[in-house]
Amino acid sequence: MNSILTVLKGTHFSCHHLVTMRGGFLKSAYSRVSILGSSRSSVPEMISRGFADGDSETKCAQNVNIIEAKNSPTIFDRILDGSIKADIVYEDPECLAFRDVDPQAPKHLLVIPRRRITMLEDAQNTDQELLGHLMLVVKKVAEQEDLTDGYRVVINNGPDGGQSVYHLHIHLLGGRQLNWPPG
């Protein structure tokens, strides 16, 4: 359920499928790398509708089957292995940073670890070094993106947090005034 692979193999497209892939992201992946055959030509539109607004996404996030999501590959696996192109702005042996294709601010990037941690609540004490590194990479990417007026860093954990991909990812948003409350 939580991966583009599931959708490709699947016979129906539920809210769950959409949200676990962060629709806009997948939509763009479709258009850019043509991973769907012509018989699936209606799928991008369905996905596009599914993510017409943030509310739809958060509602869907409430219905994710977390156990299934944690045990399925995600679209980030395809970005990490290069089979789906992303607009990568930074990479090192531990992590990758790329632009969110459904940006919520003029600059909206995601920083993800190469080694999958499904969600923050599943992080272990042995992940301390990696988590610290990810935060420093967020800072570095923000500098690289010239976010001199500031930015917001967000991690969504689970349904209430609005987590849509069960591979830890840190949102970096800037280029506009972020408002309060944060969602």
Residues that bind a second copy (CB under 8 A): 54-55, 57-58, 61-62, 104-105, 120-121, 123, 125, 127-133, 135-136, 138-139, 142-143, 147, 149-163, 171, 173-183
Cβ of residue 93: shortest distance to a second copy, in angstroms?
A: 15
Give min distance, CB of 115 to a second copy, in A.
14
| Nearest-angstrom CA–CA distance, 46 and 60 | 14
Catalytic residue status for 169: yes
Instruction: Between 35 and 58, name the residue whose CB sits nearer to a second copy.
Output: 58
Q: Quote the Cα angle for 104-16-9, to 5°.
A: 110
Cβ closest to a second copy, residue 91 vs residue 143: 143
Token pair in block for residue 183: 């969602």
Cα first-last separation, the chain? 25
Phi and psi at 181, nearest 5°, equal -75, 165
**What is the CB neighbour count within 10 angstroms for residue 58?**
17
Q: Which of 16, 167, 169, 171 is catalytic?
A: 169
- Annotated catalytic residues are 169
